């Protein structure tokens, strides 16, 4: 048990929470939890092992046992993500892995299996926890809860740009459809649906630059 402070940053994909959370963690010198990467790793492991994406008990067993490491050379860069000693940094970022992640994330026993792994990131001097249910389920005692959002269209555009930079070519209209489907699945599942915690501060980033969002969040932290 640790009393290191936690700030949760939840929201739908493309709301900017990944970029902003990482910047915030670097700015404060705190640890960073990319909980979406954990769900993506569990999904990739299931796909690699031909486990059906609805085989809840098998996926939950694997979620408990897989060896996952986030290896950082430089805190400003995205870490290399290792699954059972293999570098899967690029593999987990594909749209198909994101979709598979949102399917395994709807399975309550899989969420349960990842709970302690996520809480283990709460270490001194503090933690920025990025996800969907950080403020509602994983860190209900967090000192500050932020919920970032943006319109579906703006989120699709951002995703499109990100993927293009990584050399992945997907049509914008396919992304809008994917995002809408994923929002629906993440928001309507029974266990830990995507929704702001009661006390969360909601920030709509649709027309805000990254710098403006950072200024806003830093002002919330020092309040
Ligand atoms: O954030 P990212 O797009 O990497 O997350 C992939 C998927 O994992 C999300 O669409 C969501 O279904 C799931 N997820 C979740 N709870 C979290 C983080 C991610 O259900 N805390």
Domain boundaries, the chain: 6-222
Collapsed DSSP state (helix, strand, coil) of residue 149: strand
Q: Which strand (E) or helix (H) includes residue 64?
A: helix 56-65
**Pocket of ligand 1, beta carbon within 6 A:** 13, 35-36, 39-40, 98, 101-102, 105, 131-133, 182, 186
Structure tokens that stand for 164 in this block: 């293009």
Collapsed DSSP state (helix, strand, coil) of residue 82: strand
Residue nearest to atom 6 of ligand 1 (CA): 36
CA distance 12 to 194: 7
Q: How far is the CA of 130 from the centre of ligand 1 (A)?
A: 9
Per-residue pLDDT of the chain in tens (223 residues, 90 and over written 9): 688 999 999 999 889 899 999 999 999 999 999 999 999 999 999 999 999 999 999 999 999 999 999 998 876 778 999 999 999 999 998 889 998 998 999 999 999 999 999 999 999 999 999 999 999 999 999 999 999 999 989 999 988 998 888 888 889 999 999 888 888 888 888 888 889 999 999 999 999 999 999 999 999 998 7
6-222: CATH, from 3.40.190.10, 3.10.25.10, 3.40.50.2300, 3.40.50.300: 3.40.50.300
* Atom number in ligand 1 closest to CA 10: 21
């Amino acid at each position: 048990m640790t009393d290191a402070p936690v700030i949760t940053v939840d929201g739908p994909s493309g709301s900017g929470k990944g970029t902003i959370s990482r910047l915030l963690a670097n700015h404060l010198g705190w640890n960073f939890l990319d909980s979406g990467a954990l769900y993506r790793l569990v999904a990739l492991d299931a796909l690699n092992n031909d486990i059906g994406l609805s085989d809840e008990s098998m996926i939950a067993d694997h979620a408990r046992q897989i060896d996952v490491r986030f290896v950082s050379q430089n805190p400003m860069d995205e870490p290399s993500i290792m699954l059972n000693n293999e570098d899967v940094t690029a593999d987990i970022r594909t749209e198909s892995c994101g979709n598979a992640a949102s399917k395994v994330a709807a399975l309550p026993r899989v969420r349960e299996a990842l709970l302690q792994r996520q809480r283990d990131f709460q270490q001194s001097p503090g933690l920025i926890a990025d996800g969907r249910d950080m403020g509602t389920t994983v860190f209900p005692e967090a000192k500050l809860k932020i919920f970032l959002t943006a319109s579906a269209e703006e989120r699709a555009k951002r995703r499109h740009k990100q993927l293009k930079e990584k050399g992945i070519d997907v049509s914008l209209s396919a992304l809008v459809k994917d995002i809408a489907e994923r929002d629906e699945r993440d928001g309507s599942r029974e266990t830990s649906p995507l929704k702001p915690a009661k006390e969360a501060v909601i920030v709509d980033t649709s027309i805000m630059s990254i710098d403006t969002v950072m200024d806003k969040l830093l002002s919330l932290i020092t309040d």
